[in-house]
């Protein structure tokens, strides 16, 4: 399945959203960047695009956040998306947003992660959110500049590049990504969990994703998976997931104090506030994984002090994370 922008094919009467995004984290310091190019198209109206830039630094407290929204939206040749003067493609991202500007290059030697399985789920109305990770373990080089700060130089920073689109956000969701694990530099985790509202009732958590460790990729979750246990808040979460071949994953992620970014997302159809979610995201979270299998080998533990992403999408407003003033 080719990575490509979906919004140009959206029907006029339909609502949809789309996002191309990247995150990269310093191998040494609790500093991370999170850049998104998004499309928001209400029914019967043209799409508009937004560029989001968030810089996390757990040593400084609250992250830098800015968002620019415009109707200048296109898909240039050899690129995925261009919003205003900011572009993102298969190997680069260049742009600006408020006080931030960047020129980044990235590469990945691993295959795309397609979260949904079987593949025909990408062609059906449900789930209403589709997601893939074109570059699940990317290496980033370049520079991001912020007014009144030293330039942030990226030289081999690990991270990822993702893509999602759909007509509606899940009722509640978690996204977790992990890189930079101690003594296991090539390992990565990318998992999304969602609870849906169907016929007025909430489904259990449904997880999709993968763990790659020691060069081997293990599928996690799926529609028929059992044994998923989740305890979540804006400060972090613990979860247990099953994987292919009897693999079991226990994960714990902790958000450093004052380091989370807060945004408000809305679905492209419906009226606020009924269609709005608060979103807390920390891209310099501490993450620990314990992996076990049926083979009888001892469990393997992977740790990273600041290489994790933890994002929680929720309805409640009492989570304690300040929400940025810009809307969706």
Q: Are 252 and 236 in contact (CB under 8 A)?
A: yes
Q: Can you give the pLDDT at residue 268?
A: 85
Other residues' Cβ atoms within 10 Å of the Cβ of residue 246: 10
Q: Are 157 and 27 in contact (CB under 8 A)?
A: yes
DSSP state of 87: E
Instruction: Give which of 76, 137, 146 is closest to 108, Cα–Cα.
Output: 137
Q: Can you give the pLDDT at residue 273?
A: 55
Q: Can you give the pLDDT at residue 272?
A: 56
Is 1 a member of any domain? Answer: no
Q: Can you give the pLDDT at residue 176?
A: 98
Is 326 a member of any domain? Answer: no
Dist CA 291 CA 271 (whole Å): 43
Residue 268: beta bridge partners?
none
Read off the CATH number of the domain in which 154 is found. Answer: 2.40.370.10
3-state DSSP call for residue 214?
Answer: coil
Distances (CA, A) of 193 to 190, 207, 276: 10, 4, 18
Q: Can you give the pLDDT at residue 224?
A: 72
Is 116 a member of any domain? Answer: yes
Q: Is the alpha carbon torsion for 34, 287, 266, 319 positive or negative?
A: negative
Is 325 a member of any domain? Answer: no
What is the domain range of residue 152?
15-314
Question: Is the peptide bond between 193 and the residue preceding it cis, with omega within 30 degrees of 0?
Answer: no
Dist CA 173 CA 194 (whole Å): 4
Is 88 a member of any domain? Answer: yes
Per-residue pLDDT of the chain (328 residues; tens, 9 = 90+): 789 999 999 999 999 999 999 999 999 999 999 999 999 999 999 999 999 999 999 999 899 999 999 999 999 999 999 999 999 999 999 999 999 999 999 999 999 999 998 899 999 988 889 999 999 999 999 999 999 899 999 999 999 999 999 999 999 999 999 999 998 989 999 999 999 888 889 999 999 999 999 999 999 998 777 889 999 999 999 999 998 888 999 999 999 999 999 999 988 876 555 689 999 999 999 999 999 987 778 899 999 999 999 999 999 999 999 999 886 6
Supply φ then ψ for residue 223, to 5 degrees. Answer: -60, -35
Q: Can you give the pLDDT at residue 88?
A: 98
Q: Can you give the pLDDT at residue 266?
A: 87
Other residues' Cβ atoms within 10 Å of the Cβ of residue 48: 16
Q: CB under 8 Å to 303, separation ≥6 — which residues?
A: 181, 182, 286, 287, 288, 289
Q: Can you give the pLDDT at residue 328?
A: 63
Is 51 a member of any domain? Answer: yes
Q: Can you give the pLDDT at residue 315?
A: 94
Is 234 a member of any domain? Answer: yes
How many domains does the structure of the chain reveal?
1
Q: Can you give the pLDDT at residue 53?
A: 98
Is 324 a member of any domain? Answer: no
If residue 287 lies in a helix (H) or strand (E), which one and from where to where? Answer: strand 276-292
Secondary structure of 260-279 in HEC code, one letter for each residue: CEEEEEECCCCCCCCCEEEE
């Amino acid at each position: 399945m080719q990575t490509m922008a979906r919004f140009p094919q959206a029907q006029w009467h339909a609502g949809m959203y789309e996002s191309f995004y990247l995150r990269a984290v310093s191998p040494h310091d609790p500093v991370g960047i999170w850049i998104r190019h998004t499309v928001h198209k209400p029914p019967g109206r043209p799409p508009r695009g937004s560029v989001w830039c968030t810089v996390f630094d757990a040593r400084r407290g609250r992250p830098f956040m800015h968002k620019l929204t415009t109707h200048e939206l296109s898909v240039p040749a050899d690129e995925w998306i261009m919003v205003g003067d900011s572009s993102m493609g298969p190997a680069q991202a260049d742009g600006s947003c408020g006080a931030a500007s960047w020129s980044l290059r990235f590469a990945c030697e691993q295959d795309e992660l397609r979260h949904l399985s079987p593949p025909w789920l990408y062609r059906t109305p449900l789930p209403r959110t589709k997601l893939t990770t074109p570059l699940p373990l990317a290496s980033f080089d370049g520079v991001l500049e912020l007014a009144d700060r030293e330039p942030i130089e990226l030289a081999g920073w690990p991270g990822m590049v993702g893509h999602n689109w759909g007509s509606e956000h899940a009722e509640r969701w978690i996204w977790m990504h992990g890189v930079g694990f101690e003594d296991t530099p090539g390992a990565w985790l990318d998992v999304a969990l969602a609870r849906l509202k169907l016929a007025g009732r909430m489904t259990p958590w449904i997880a999709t994703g993968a763990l790659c460790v020691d060069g081997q990729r293990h599928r996690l979750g799926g529609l028929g998976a059992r044994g998923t246990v989740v305890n979540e808040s804006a400060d972090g979460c613990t979860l247990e997931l099953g994987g292919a071949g009897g693999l079991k994953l226990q994960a714990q992620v902790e958000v450093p104090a004052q380091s989370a970014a807060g945004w408000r997302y809305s679905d492209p159809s419906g009226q606020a506030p009924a269609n709005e979610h608060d979103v807390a995201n920390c891209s310099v979270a501490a993450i620990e994984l314990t992996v076990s299998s049926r083979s009888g080998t001892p469990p393997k533990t992977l740790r990273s002090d600041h290489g994790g992403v933890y994002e929680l999408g929720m309805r409640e407003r009492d989570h304690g994370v300040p929400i940025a003033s810009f809307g969706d």
